[in-house]
Amino acid sequence: MNTHYRPLRLNVGFLLSQTAGYGRHFDFHEESITLGSDIRVEALIGHLQLNRTPQGIVALGDFSAQSPAECARCLKTFSAPVSIHIEDLFVYPPQNATDPLLLVGEDAHLNLEPLVREYLLVNQPTRLLCRPDCKGLCPICGNDLNEKQCYHPEEIEVQGIMTSGLILSPQKKSKKADVTEKKPVKTESKTEKKAAHVKAPAAVKNSRPKSVKISVRKSGGKSPAAKKTAGGAAKKTSKKK
Which is more confidently placed, 13 or 209? 13
Return the half-sphere exposure (C-beta side, CA atoms, 13 A cut-off) of residue 62: 3
pLDDT above 60 (res 115): yes
Question: How confident is residue 152, by pLDDT bands cut at 50, 70 and 90?
Answer: confident
Tabulate helix, strand, coil % of the chain (nearest 5).
25, 30, 45
Average confidence (pLDDT) over 101-111: 93
Average confidence (pLDDT) over 235-241: 48
Query: Of the ranges 44-58, 154-168, 174-188, which is most confident?
Result: 44-58
Could you tell me how many residues make up the chain? 241
Average confidence (pLDDT) over 199-219: 48
Average confidence (pLDDT) over 88-94: 94
d(CA 74, CA 13): 49
Which percentage of the chain shows pLDDT scores above 70? 62
CB within 8 Å of 58: residues ≥ 6 apart: 50, 51, 87, 88, 89, 90
pLDDT above 60 (res 239): no
Average pLDDT, the chain: 76
Question: How confident is residue 159, by pLDDT bands cut at 50, 70 and 90?
Answer: very low
Question: How confident is residue 6, by pLDDT bands cut at 50, 70 and 90?
Answer: confident
Average confidence (pLDDT) over 94-113: 92
Predicted local distance difference test score (pLDDT) of residue 48:
96
At position 92, the amino acid (one-letter code) is Y
Predicted local distance difference test score (pLDDT) of residue 200:
47
